[in-house]
Structure 1
Amino acid sequence: MAPPHDGATSSSRRRPQTSRNLRSSASQTKTLMTLLAVSSTLMVQAQNAVYPQPTDIAGTGPKPPAVQSPAIGTWATPSAPVTDGNGVHVPPASETGLGRQAHVRSPTDFCLFMPPDPVTENLVDAEADAVAYCFNAVNGTRPMPDGFVQTAHFRKTADYVQVSGTYDWRKMNLNPYDCGGEYDNHGPSGKGNPVGAAIDGGQDFFQFLGSCDTVGVGQFVIRSCFGSRSYPYCRNTFDLMGSLWVAPGEYREPGFTSCSADSDLPVGVYNSSYTFAQGDPYTPPAVTAPSSSMCSTTASPSASGVTYAWAQFGYQQAISGGAASPTATGSASATTDSVAVASSTITSAPTVSAAASTTTRPAVATPTSSTSGARHLVAAGSALGMVFLLLVMAFVA
Structure 2
Amino acid sequence: MLIKTLLVLVAMAAPALAYEPVTCTPINKTRSIIASIDSADNFCTFMTGYGVNPVAPNEGCAGVYCHGTVKNGAQPMPKGYILSTNYLKNATYVQVTGCIDSSVWAQDPLDDGGQMDSHGWPYSCQGWAKFVSLIEPATNTFCIRCCDKDNNVDCNTSISTKGCWNVIPGQYTMADGTACKAPANMTTPTTSAIPPTSSSGTSVSISASGGAGTSPTPGTGSGTGANAGGRVSVSVEMVGAVVAVALALAASF
| Whole-Å separation in 2 of the counterparts to 1:199 and 1:183 | 11
Alignment of 1:385-396 (within 5 A): none
Contact 1:97–1:142, Cα closer than 8 Å, also in 2: no
| Whole-Å separation in 1 of the counterparts to 2:71 and 2:150 | 29
| Whole-Å separation in 2 of the counterparts to 1:115 and 1:252 | 23
Contact 1:104–1:162, Cα closer than 8 Å, also in 2: yes
**What does residue 181 of structure 1 align with?**
114
Deviation, 1:97, is 5.6
Residues 202 and 127 of structure 1, relative CA distance in 2, 3 Å threshold = same
| Whole-Å separation in 1 of the counterparts to 2:39 and 2:126 | 13
Contact 2:88–2:94, Cα closer than 8 Å, also in 1: yes
Alignment of 1:42-57 (within 5 A): none
| Whole-Å separation in 2 of the counterparts to 1:293 and 1:140 | 30
Instruction: Give the SS at the match of 1:233.
Output: coil
**What does residue 262 of structure 1 align with?**
none
**What does residue 128 of structure 2 align with?**
202
Alignment of 1:237-248 (within 5 A): 237-248=158-169
Render the CA deviation track for 1:310-341: whole Å, top value 9, x for unaligned.
xxxxxxxxxxxxxxxxx539xx84579xxxxx
Contact 1:159–1:230, Cα closer than 8 Å, also in 2: no
Query: What letter matches 1:290 in structure 2?
Result: S
Determine which of 20, 32, 56 is the counterpart of 1:99. Answer: 32
Deviation, 1:132, is 0.5
Deviation, 1:172, is 1.0
Deviation, 1:203, is 0.6
Query: What letter matches 1:217 in structure 2?
Result: T
Matched, 1:149 2:71: no
Contact 2:34–2:126, Cα closer than 8 Å, also in 1: yes
Deviation, 1:121, is 3.8
Determine which of 102, 110, 114 is the counterpart of 1:169. Answer: 102
Residues 372 and 206 of structure 1, relative CA distance in 2, 3 Å threshold = farther
Query: What letter matches 2:145 in structure 1?
Result: R
Deviation, 1:368, is 2.7
Matched, 1:291 2:227: no
Please provide the CA RMSD for this pair. Answer: 3.4
Render the CA deviation track for 1:214-253: whole Å, top value 9, x for unaligned.
xx42111100001x57552112111122111122211124
Deviation, 1:105, is 1.2
**What does residue 235 of structure 1 align with?**
156
Residues 290 and 139 of structure 1, relative CA distance in 2, 3 Å threshold = closer
Render the CA deviation track for 1:118-150: whole Å, top value 9, x for unaligned.
334421121111000112223321110111001
Gaps of 5+ in 1: 1-95, 257-285, 302-326, 337-365, 381-397
Render the CA deviation track for 1:29-85: whole Å, top value 9, x for unaligned.
xxxxxxxxxxxxxxxxxxxxxxxxxxxxxxxxxxxxxxxxxxxxxxxxxxxxxxxxx
Residues 297 and 235 of structure 1, relative CA distance in 2, 3 Å threshold = closer
May I ask how many residue pairs the two structures share in their alignment? 183
Matched, 1:219 2:145: no
| Whole-Å separation in 2 of the counterparts to 1:134 and 1:247 | 20
**What does residue 234 of structure 2 align with?**
369
Residues 97 and 138 of structure 1, relative CA distance in 2, 3 Å threshold = farther
Residues 155 and 176 of structure 1, relative CA distance in 2, 3 Å threshold = same
Contact 2:56–2:114, Cα closer than 8 Å, also in 1: yes
Instruction: Give the SS at the match of 1:165.
Output: strand
Residues 120 and 296 of structure 1, relative CA distance in 2, 3 Å threshold = closer
Deviation, 1:181, is 2.0
**Greater Cα shift, 156-165 or 240-249:** 240-249
Of all paired residues, the percent bearing the same amino acid is: 27
Residues 179 and 297 of structure 1, relative CA distance in 2, 3 Å threshold = closer
| Whole-Å separation in 1 of the counterparts to 2:52 and 2:150 | 38
| Whole-Å separation in 2 of the counterparts to 1:250 and 1:368 | 22
Q: Which structure has the bigger radius of gyration?
A: 1
| Whole-Å separation in 2 of the counterparts to 1:107 and 1:158 | 17
Query: What letter matches 2:166 in structure 1?
Result: W
Q: Which runs of 4+ in 1 moved over 4 A?
A: 228-231, 292-298, 332-336, 371-374
Contact 1:220–1:243, Cα closer than 8 Å, also in 2: yes
